[in-house]
Amino acid sequence: MKVAVFGARGRTGRLVVEELRRAGYEVVAASRTGELVVPGVDAAQADPAAGQGVAVAT
């Protein structure tokens, strides 16, 4: 299953990304900057407040 995590660069988001990876999920780390959060995780630049964030991250 593929999971998009918004706010992945924050303290809690980063922990969520790492935990999902350990559980075997395919993770897309979405943030406003699109910078890589965790090695081996796809990164996407997306802002859900802009109305198009979910489509960009998936």
Q: Chunk the chain into consecutive blocks of 10 residues (it has 58) and report each block's average pLDDT, rounded to whole numbers.
A: 87 92 91 78 82 60
pLDDT of residue 22: 93
- Report how far apart, in Å, the C-alpha atoms of 48 and of each of 17, 31, 39 are: 17, 9, 23
**pTM of the prediction?**
0.76
pLDDT of residue 30: 86
Of 44, 46, 47, 25, the closest CA to residue 36 belongs to 44
Distance, C-alpha 17 to centroid of its chain: 7
pLDDT of residue 36: 75
